[in-house]
Homo-oligomer: A and B are copies of this chain.
Amino acid sequence: MTGIKDVAERAGLSVATVSRALSGKGHVSPTSRERARAAAAELGFVLSYHASSLASGRTHNVGLVVPSVHRWFFSAVIEGASAALLEAGYDLTLYNIGENPEHRHSVFSDFLLRKRVDAVIAVSLELSESEIQQLHAMHRPIVGIGGPLPGASTIRIDDAAIARKATNHLLGLGHSKIAHITGNEAYDQDFQLPGTRRSGFEQAMNDAGCPVRPEWIVSADFTIEGAYAAARQLLASAPERPTAVFAASDEMAIGTILAARDFGLRIPEDLSVMGIDGHDLGNVMGLTTIDQDAKGQGALAVRTLLGAITKDVALEPADTEHPTKLVVRTSTAVPKVSAS
């Protein structure tokens, strides 16, 4: 294995100079820099970040903790973060919590403590006190995406406002009989997110003087499958059917559309459906939604973190609100029968 020593020898420089040349830190004459680079290239040499990290403390590696890798939002964040990190020459260590509590525990009590990462991005995790402590015990910058994370910077969307906006879109079309598909307590590793969106919905309904019917609020696990089942129940059992459904996520909206089709309901003639996210399938399904640019959130988290790392300043806990955009497609329309 060629090391920096070989490069130094070949370039006729000291190891120290080569190190400086390659890392771009400190003063190096252009000549030396070029010679070092050339020698490295000829030898196919690449710095070992393991060794670098021992000596410098910088690992060139960011940890990304996600509850799952299947749900659209998480994949999108991973994609955004991954690209931004690649760009910056940083590695991405993925900690997929999953549903196994032991795995979850070991991530926080072992994996993250190994001084292996320069920073951590935690996505949509409802963390316990001790988990938060363990995070902070790393003494590394942390960014939370998708909800509050005590003591850390966060990137988030204004869930309440968005839910209101979505609900108002439906109300504006003339709907008053609106159902809501919210998150599922049991399954939820998420923040208060489902609750917040739900209150936004209720508030908008109240503001419009529309009654919120408890039987029209059903919960699911944020997956297409889960919402499909929930929506079937909603559409089957209700003595009266809503004319519109606002789902707390696009995946749940899609599940709802699938369920509606099973009942022979046409979208949007018989039922308007909308979600929140900006899911890739939105186009195909003609789904009206509020796009939250998850990829962008991942990239922004990386930029924030990298900024703090390279400047070597502690990251000031700050809340950044990410912009969202109402995207109207064909799944929402004026209700056919406007009777109440």
Q: A78-B94, A93-B93, A225-B283 are in contact. Are A59 and B50 (CB under 8 A)?
A: yes
**Contact of A46 with B by CB under 8 A:** yes
Which residues of chain B are near A261, meaning CB under 8 Å?
261
| A284-B50 in contact given A86-B106, A116-B91 (Cβ < 8 Å) | no
User: What distance in Å separates the Cβ of A141 from its nearest Cβ neighbour in chain B?
Assistant: 17
Query: What 0/1 pattern do residues 36 to 73 of A give for CB contact below 8 A with B?
Result: 00000000101111110110000101001000111000
The answer to whether B69 touches A96 (Cβ under 8 A) is no
Instruction: For chain A, residues 280 to 317, give those with C-beta under 8 angstroms from any C-beta of chain B.
Output: 280-281, 283-285
A113 at the interface (CB under 8 A from B): yes
How far does the Cβ of A96 sit from chain B's closest Cβ, in whole Å? 4
Assess whether B79 is in contact with A69, with CB atoms less than 8 Å apart: yes
**Contact count band on A:** 35 or more
- Contact at A115–B281, with CB atoms within 8 Å? no
Q: Which residues of B contact A240 (CB under 8 A)?
A: none
Q: What's the Cα separation between A115 and B284 when bound, in Å?
A: 43
Contact A48 B114 (CB under 8 A): yes
Asked if B69 contacts A86 (CB within 8 A), the reply is: no
Q: Which residues of B contact A263 (CB under 8 A)?
A: none
Q: Is the CB of B50 within 8 A of A281?
A: no
* Contact in complex: A96, B83 (CB < 8 Å): yes
> How far in angstroms is the closest Cβ of chain B from A298?
11
For A103, list chain B residues within 8 Å (CB).
83, 86-87
Query: Does A218 belong to the interface (CB within 8 Å)?
Result: no
- The answer, yes or no, to whether A24 is at the interface (CB within 8 Å) is no
The winner among A64, A78, A110, A114 for most chain B CB atoms within 10 A is A114
B47 touches A114 (CB 8 A): yes
Contacts of A96 in B (CB 8 A): 78-79, 82-83, 86, 92
Residue in B54, B93, B113, B225 whose CB lies within 8 Å of A92: B93
Contact partner of A46 (CB less than 8 A), chosen from B51, B59, B92, B114, is B114
Q: With A46-B114, A78-B69, A82-B69 given, is the CB distance from A91 to B93 under 8 Å?
A: yes
A interface residues (Cβ-Cβ under 8 A, vs B): 1, 44, 46-51, 53-54, 59, 61, 64, 68-70, 75-76, 78-79, 82-83, 86-87, 89, 91-96, 98, 100, 103, 106-107, 110-111, 113-116, 137, 223-225, 228, 255, 258, 261, 280-281, 283-285
Q: Give 6 closest A-B pairs by Cβ, nearest first.
A: A82-B96, A46-B113, A94-B94, A48-B115, A228-B284, A50-B53
